[in-house]
Amino acid sequence: MKVAISANSADLNSLVSPVFGRCAGFIIAEVENGEIKSSEFISNPALNAFRGAGIQAAQLVLSKNVQAVISGNLGPNAFAVLQQAGVKVYQAFGLSIKDAIKKLSAGELPEMQAFGPGFRYRGRGFGMRRRGFRGAFGGAPY
């Protein structure tokens, strides 16, 4: 199986990057029976992109014909691109790249299923709740 792992360096002993779209690059590894048969590091040209870094990174990974992605976290757009291509996405926090691959082979990494209908991005604007904003008609707080 061919796996893409978000990484901050080409070292297989380094930690899996906690981000996908703005990681330094990806280790593309050919994995058989939990062992890395071959690997290459490709730089992420979307690292400093103004917008759409996740989508650009997902397209880069897809161009390498991977069947799975391991990362700390993905945005909803990057996840949708990978999901539509049939690539499974697994989350790994605080693990080295080698350990993450071993856990993937053992079936111990959680698979990201979907953001689903209940997903709500809590970026800018979420702080209004703390300031007592009650909406346009003065209704109950959120």
| Of the candidate ranges 28-37, 52-61, 94-103, 114-123, the one whose mean pLDDT is the lowest | 114-123
Predicted confidence at residue 114, as pLDDT, reads 67
Predicted confidence at residue 117, as pLDDT, reads 43
Whole-model pTM: value is 0.79
- CATH says 2-116 is which class? alpha beta
Residues 6+ apart with CB under 8 A from 64: 2, 4, 26, 28, 42
Q: How far apart are CA 26 and CA 36, in angstroms?
A: 15
Q: Which of 103, 85, 116, 114 is nearest to 5 (CA)?
A: 103
> pLDDT (tens digit, 9 = 90+) per residue, 20-54?
999 999 999 999 888 889 899 999 998 888 888 99
Predicted confidence at residue 34, as pLDDT, reads 80
